[in-house]
């Protein structure tokens, strides 16, 4: 059996919903059919991808590896279809092709652009360098990316840049019942016994987190996976992970500042001309300020540093 995008989409649905029943309902298929499909996928890949438990399905270590590769592929296919449909229907020349790494400011930015009669088409990617290459090649109009400290972006010649935030501190997400979550900021030493999850496909992320942990004298166990999977595992108490300070806490997950702010990123908007930056930067700044102030821990940090 050859793996297809629909198979990867099914795996993501099972992981996201936590059960075959809910995943089948989300995909619009019968549960026995989805169960049979999963068995065939597992036979093809050589091992079980999920543990079937009384409370639902949980990814195995092999499942986490597969999901870490599957999610970007599914997202890329979704973006391809959306971009193709938008290109086919766009007749007024107002379409704006935006590339971005993950950010909670995106929703507000897109909403503000639509209010100005600009129809954005969004291309998400975990790699800021890949987005910058797409921008330089003319496949995007603007790119909103992050630069991890210690891992400078490889910026193609001829691009115009505008810094949104010179240094955004990275926070940590941890289970809500973790002892360290009782404080408003967390010492890395208090997480010495925890497993960490890091997405190695994010440019510079693994190196930066590794440096941060080594500087704190930590040698924790590290799992590799995308941050969507990491959030699910944080909620179940399996891992802790770095996160953006605008990340919203949930009943089962706390978001805390790391003492000393040892890890930061620079947020940058890129385009081919300064004029293109002028057209979209004010809306991005408004959207970012909105989510920053709405994030309890980050809002307090901004007040503390006088931003």
- pLDDT tens digits for range 213-234: 999 999 999 999 888 888 889 9
Over the stretch 178-203, which tens digit does the pLDDT of each residue have? 999 999 999 999 999 999 999 988 99
Report the mean per-residue pLDDT for the chain. Answer: 89
Ordered DSSP codes for 69-107: HHHHHHHHHHHHHHHHHHHHH--SS-EEEEEE-S-TTHH
Q: How many CB atoms lie within 10 A of CB 272?
A: 17
Rounded to two decimals, the pTM is 0.70
Q: Which residues pair with 197 in a beta bridge?
A: 223
Q: Are 172 and 185 in contact (CB under 8 A)?
A: no
* Residue in this structure with the two tokens 């399996």, named with its chain if needed: 238
pLDDT value at position 83?
63
Over the stretch 239-298, which tens digit does the pLDDT of each residue have? 999 999 999 888 999 999 999 999 999 999 999 999 999 999 999 999 999 999 888 888
Q: Are 266 and 167 in contact (CB under 8 A)?
A: yes
Looking from the CA of 292 toward its CB, the CA atoms found within 13 Å total: 15
Res 105 pLDDT > 90:
yes
Q: Which residues pair with 129 in a beta bridge?
A: none
Q: What CA–CA distance (Å, rounded) separates 111 from 118?
A: 10
What letter would DSSP give residue 307? -
Average pLDDT (208-212) is: 94
pLDDT value at position 91?
46
Give the CA radius of gyration of the chain: 20
What letter would DSSP give residue 27? H
């Amino acid at each position: 059996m050859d793996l297809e995008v629909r198979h990867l989409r099914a795996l993501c649905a099972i992981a996201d919903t936590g059960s075959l029943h809910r995943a089948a309902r989300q995909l619009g298929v019968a549960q026995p059919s989805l169960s049979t499909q999963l068995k065939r996928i597992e036979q093809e890949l050589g091992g079980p991808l999920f543990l079937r438990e009384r409370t639902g399905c949980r990814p195995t270590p092999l499942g986490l590896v597969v999901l870490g590769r599957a999610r970007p592929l599914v997202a890329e296919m979704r973006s391809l279809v959306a971009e193709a449909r938008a290109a086919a229907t766009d007749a007024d020349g107002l379409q704006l092709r935006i590339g971005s790494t993950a950010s909670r400011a995106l929703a507000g930015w897109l909403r503000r652009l639509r209010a100005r009669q600009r129809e954005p088409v969004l291309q998400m990617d975990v790699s800021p360098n890949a987005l910058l290459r797409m921008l330089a090649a003319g496949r995007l109009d603007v790119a909103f990316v992050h630069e991890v400290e210690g891992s400078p972006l490889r910026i193609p010649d001829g691009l115009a840049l505008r810094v949104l935030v010179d240094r955004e501190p990275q926070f940590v997400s941890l289970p809500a019942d973790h002892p360290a979550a009782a404080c408003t900021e967390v010492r890395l030493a208090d997480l010495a016994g925890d497993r960490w999850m890091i997405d190695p496909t994010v440019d510079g992320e693994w190196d930066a987190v590794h440096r941060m942990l080594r500087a704190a004298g930590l040698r924790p166990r590290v799992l590799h996976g995308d941050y969507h999977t990491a959030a699910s595992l944080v909620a179940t108490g399996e891992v802790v992970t770095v996160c953006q300070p605008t990340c919203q806490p949930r009943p089962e997950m706390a978001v805390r500042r790391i003492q000393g702010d040892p890890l930061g990123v620079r947020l940058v908007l890129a385009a081919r001309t300064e004029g293109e930056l002028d057209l979209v930067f004010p809306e991005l700044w408004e959207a970012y300020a909105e989510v920053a102030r709405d994030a309890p821990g980050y809002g307090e940090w901004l007040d503390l540093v006088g931003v």
